[in-house]
Structure 1
């Protein structure tokens, strides 16, 4: 897997948390219209949110150069996610990536009257750059209108909404403190893991697979005799990297999402800790990387066993769904 592919899969795998955080933390609750009236800012991924979204983008950026400024990357990635998901819900299609399209960022491959994914790619970053350059607040909607024309008929999608539905954070299922923490923390996960693996023997051998969790469990058991040793200041870089690696590995394999234990009782293992939540059926299964790292001191296989639990529940869920469909 090359670097572009890794970045793309990270983009998709982090969609729920980062898109939810963008909607809650970066988009305003209200917006001042040109006529001086204050309007509620729609955050529903609907076509009617596009003009307001474009006005807001123009208020943030005065030139295309500001859009591609590295200091604005987090906001722009959130904007790409929101705009892309809005298009998907309106016209159908899927996220995609390649070496040439989209200015190096994921783009939308839309459905047309010819069939699923038959349309010309919609390069989201290029559309944002064009909108900031044109400054008409009409570009986002014009792109959607053209794509709808390509659907033929009355311009409705040929299939159900294809937008992501991975349980994005909302004001109903999360707190302001959790969103604020995750907005900062998520951006440190992959860089933190990259730095951590470079300090290990054979850095390239640390991949997001079960065997790496087995090896890490053994390493923790050999490195520390107690939890107190893990909590010393000099061990913070190693433990912080290990926790991120544990969490991200089980999250990717088990299709979970990062959460943060805000407002929980002090004796709850999730309290004030980032953890991974898996939605299995109608139940939540939460795993705390810090807790898993501690259990490895007693049982080196405990981290990998945590992953096994998730996989087993996923398999049971799939078998149950398959049985229901066959009846």
Structure 2
């Protein structure tokens, strides 16, 4: 079970009995993670904050997702898979599950289904490989916040005590946009053509072709790299107009390709400071439910591009969105 092959086949899918043994070893394996594998100041409390810390550790441990599968020992990986899954269960109810159905995308991997009304299986290993690919530092927090949003809405509609869990026969609709978020999003999209035209005229060299293609994203990234030397410059107020235009163009390219749609969240002025998606425009992939949509926060992509300077961050966002649609349930 702890070998975690990259793509299990019908011949390599671990039998159900092995998963049962894996599940029975949960407590000692987690104890070993706490005692021997994590820094002394790690908050081993299954909280959102601990997931943020764990993501930093994983990013320092593995340079990319290929390193996960290539590692000679997957002991640490196995313990991290357990911790992520248990964090979701202890905060939002639910249980570990396992499938040997070779036609399922989650077959051969332990996964978690929370009491959030979606019946969506979350595979901790996939979360780890995703965070290593995207390297934003906020992926596990995003999953935690999204699950909490659905969980709270489900509990409210089911009319049950969150500690006791929801009534299983109830279902809940996806949380809707707040009035403030909807108003912003409508304004953001209505102003898109004019804002992009002004941004292009004011900031983009005339020889750069911006036709909302994948190749244009590579060209835009080079413009970004030529302009910024580090992440601090990206967020400096003097660059706000350029950055907003680049955010619009990157997101709108994914939207016009048919991969995604714009999204926005606004919890008001009293929103927790650690809520990293508060008042930041981003796009979500157009995958059908119950699949979990892939998100791209253009501002973060710009910051990652400037930090890593590979010239491939924006095109990787494009490919990630397209892959998410191609591999989603229909």
TM-score normalized with structure 2 length: 0.42
Larger radius of gyration: 1
TM-score normalized with structure 1 length: 0.42
